[in-house]
Amino acid sequence: MVARAFRHPADTPAFANETLWRYTLDPQTGRQVHEPRVPPPTYTLRCFVLTRLVKLFHGHARFDPTTPSLTAADYRQRLQSLLQRHPRCLCPEEKRLVFPGFTDLRAFSFAYETLLKVTVGGAWRSYFRRGHWRMILPFFRRGQALEAERLRKRVLAHRAPSVHVVTFPQLTLNHAIVLFEVTESASHLIFRAYDPNSPDEQVLLTYDRVRRQFSLPPLPYFIGGPISLYEVDCSFWR
């Protein structure tokens, strides 16, 4: 089965997963520091919720702008049906759930932001995931090399893998993004990614083939530098 290419930003929600903290760089220590955001954000801790939603729409739904729109109750029912499917699977075109009246997820989320936020699940879904066990185990360079090659193949096959990016045990980064494009050279792989925290921007995730190390650039919530990762929503265990 051939998957369609992931389109950014069309295949992503228009709203962001907001961070609880405002992050800055301490000029004296060079360390990342944070303080509570004021006023407190209202939609937080849902990066895994949103990456799962993006994968479900990419793999199990299609939009048809040529047919009349449904009622909010009908869209809620279709969203609930979509959430019963598994993001690791890919659905054939004839079995996809149709969302009429819109061109893509971005347009749909502009019109039904509140419905999406209420229906797709709370912040607890980002914490209670059976795949989180992997985070506490060591990330060896050989394992990250194998992960990088596997992700390269999955991106080229348009499978839009979602990955857990982490700095464990410090947890200065504990986040999820979706990879959708890759460019490669003899020394590096550069992945483009959807970031739930910044849905309008594309994050560049770099893999150094020589050092066998992933890294991220400075982001509003991360100082930048080496990170570890593994794919999620890809198997029964992850």
Model confidence pLDDT, tens digit, residues 11-62: 999 999 998 877 767 777 767 777 788 888 999 999 999 999 999 999 999 9
Q: Is 140 contained in some domain?
A: yes
* pLDDT at residue number 206: 98
The whole domain housing 201 covers 130-232
In a shared domain, residues 154 and 208 = yes
In a shared domain, residues 48 and 136 = no
What separation in angstroms does the CA of 190 have from each of 52, 164, 209?
22, 17, 11
Q: Is 13 contained in some domain?
A: no
In a shared domain, residues 199 and 215 = yes
Computed on alpha carbons and rounded to an integer, the radius of gyration of the chain in Å comes to 18
In a shared domain, residues 164 and 217 = yes
In a shared domain, residues 116 and 172 = no
Residues 6 or more apart in contact with residue 219 via CB below 8 angstroms: 195, 197, 198, 203
In a shared domain, residues 123 and 140 = no
Rounded Cα distance, 237 and 114, in Å: 31
Q: Is 9 contained in some domain?
A: no
Q: What is the mean pLDDT of residues 102-108?
A: 98
Model confidence pLDDT, tens digit, residues 216-230: 999 999 999 999 999
pTM of the model: 0.93
In a shared domain, residues 109 and 188 = no
Tokens for 186, please give them. Answer: 């003899």
Q: Does the structure show a pLDDT above 70 at 207?
A: yes
pLDDT grade, residue 233 (50/70/90)? Answer: confident
Q: Is 86 contained in some domain?
A: yes
In a shared domain, residues 71 and 166 = no
Residue type for position 231: E
Give the end of a domain, one of 112, 127, 142. Answer: 127
Q: Is 228 contained in some domain?
A: yes
Model confidence pLDDT, tens digit, residues 106-162: 999 999 999 999 999 987 777 777 777 777 889 999 999 999 999 999 999 999 999
Q: Does the structure show a pLDDT above 70 at 1?
A: no
pLDDT grade, residue 209 (50/70/90)? Answer: very high
| Token pair 């702008």 in the structure block, residue | 65
Q: Does the structure show a pLDDT above 70 at 2?
A: no
| Token pair 């066990």 in the structure block, residue | 133
Give the end of a domain, one of 94, 127, 160. Answer: 127
Give the end of a domain, one of 127, 160, 195. Answer: 127
In a shared domain, residues 192 and 221 = yes
Q: Is 187 contained in some domain?
A: yes
Model confidence pLDDT, tens digit, residues 54-89: 999 999 999 999 999 999 999 999 999 999 999 988
In a shared domain, residues 50 and 146 = no
Query: How many domains does the chain contain in total?
Result: 2
Q: Is 237 contained in some domain?
A: no
In a shared domain, residues 135 and 121 = no
In a shared domain, residues 73 and 158 = no
Q: Is 167 contained in some domain?
A: yes
